[in-house]
């Protein structure tokens, strides 16, 4: 069984989707710790409800960002965490945590990277009026949303979409592909070579995706 540590800052709906997959017996993993950088994060309520240990760390209590991330790494290591999940964790991860968990930290981003990195990926996509957007699960490196891509999923975008309507459409897919990426990892099917992630047993079919708006 894979030991997970989850880092979150807010609502925690992605955290919930992982809890649900584990409880349904579809993901062979156990969440050993939820760490939050925000004492009001709703994710804490979810942890309590499912008897998952939670820990609030205030970044302002640390001399530097590196010290804050070193503390997170120490807390995760102390609990035997094997994979770290960033589920709406609103900070750029620093070296002490990345070095402690090389290619063992996953993040979900609400856009098709490398388009629209950073904050408000859905708003950026709606404002740009792209035809397709989506979400990306990737391993985390020191950049902002730049690490090796594991899974992406796409949704159509309408010119009438707002940040809210597009976010809702993308979120449904987030809740599918994040647990799926963790499952692939838990099953030992992922390997990383530079920025290429290979998925064992995953065959590219001779298919293409047509944006429904164009049909």
Can residue 11 be called a binding residue for ligand GRF (CB under 6 A)?
A: yes
Nearer to ligand GRF, 65 or 91 (CB): 91
Helices (H), the chain: 13-23, 43-49, 65-78, 95-100, 121-128, 163-186
Query: By rule CB under 6 A, what string of x and - marks binding of each residue 88-107 to ligand GRF?
Result: x-------------------
Can residue 37 be called a binding residue for ligand GRF (CB under 6 A)?
A: no
Whole-angstrom distance, CA of residue 34 vs CA of residue 66: 20
Nearer to ligand GRF, 44 or 81 (CB): 44
Q: Which stretch binds ligand GRF (CB under 6 A): 11-19, 149-157, 183-191, 205-213?
A: 11-19
Q: Are strands 54-56 and 29-36 parallel, antiparallel or unpaired?
A: parallel
Can residue 179 be called a binding residue for ligand GRF (CB under 6 A)?
A: no
CB 2 within 8 A of CB 29: yes
The two three-digit tokens of residue 77, written as one number: 């290591």
Question: Which residue from 6, 22, 44, 87 is in contact with ligand GRF, where contact means CB under 6 A?
Answer: 87
CB 110 within 8 A of CB 135: yes
The yes-or-no answer on residue 109 being catalytic is yes
CB 104 within 8 A of CB 83: yes
Can residue 38 be called a binding residue for ligand GRF (CB under 6 A)?
A: no
Can residue 59 be called a binding residue for ligand GRF (CB under 6 A)?
A: no
| Angle subtended at Cα 140 by Cα 57 and Cα 153, rounded to the nearest 5 degrees | 115
CB of 109 to ligand GRF, least distance (A): 6
Can residue 124 be called a binding residue for ligand GRF (CB under 6 A)?
A: no
Using CB under 6 A, count the residues that bind ligand GRF: 12
CB of 92 to ligand GRF, least distance (A): 12
Q: Is 43 helix (H, G, I), strand (E, B) or coil?
A: helix
Out of 50, 54, 109, 138, which one is annotated catalytic?
109
Helix axes 163-186, 13-23, angle to 10 degrees: 40
The contact set with ligand GRF (CB under 6 A) reads 8, 10-14, 87-88, 108-110, 174
């Amino acid at each position: 069984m894979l030991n997970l540590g989850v880092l979150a800052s807010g609502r925690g709906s992605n955290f919930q989707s992982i809890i649900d997959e584990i409880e349904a017996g579809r993901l062979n993993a156990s969440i050993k710790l939820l760490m939050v950088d925000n004492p009001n994060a709703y994710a804490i309520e979810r942890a309590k409800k499912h008897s998952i240990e939670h820990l609030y760390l205030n970044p302002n209590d640390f001399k530097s960002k590196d010290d804050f991330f070193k503390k997170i790494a120490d807390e995760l290591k102390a609990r035997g965490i094997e994979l770290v999940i960033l589920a709406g964790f609103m900070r750029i991860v620093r070296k002490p945590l990345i070095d402690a968990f090389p290619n063992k930290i996953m993040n979900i981003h609400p856009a098709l990277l490398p388009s629209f990195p950073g904050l408000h990926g859905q708003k950026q996509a709606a404002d740009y009026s792209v035809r397709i957007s989506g979400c990306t699960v990737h391993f985390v490196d020191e950049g902002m949303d730049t690490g090796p891509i594991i899974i992406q999923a796409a949704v159509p975008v309408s010119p009438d979409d707002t940040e809210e309507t597009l976010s809702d459409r993308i979120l449904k897919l987030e809740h599918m592909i994040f647990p799926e990426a963790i499952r692939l990892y838990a099953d030992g099917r992922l390997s990383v070579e530079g920025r290429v992630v290979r998925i064992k047993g995953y065959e590219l079919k001779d298919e293409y995706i047509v944006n429904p708006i164009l049909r």
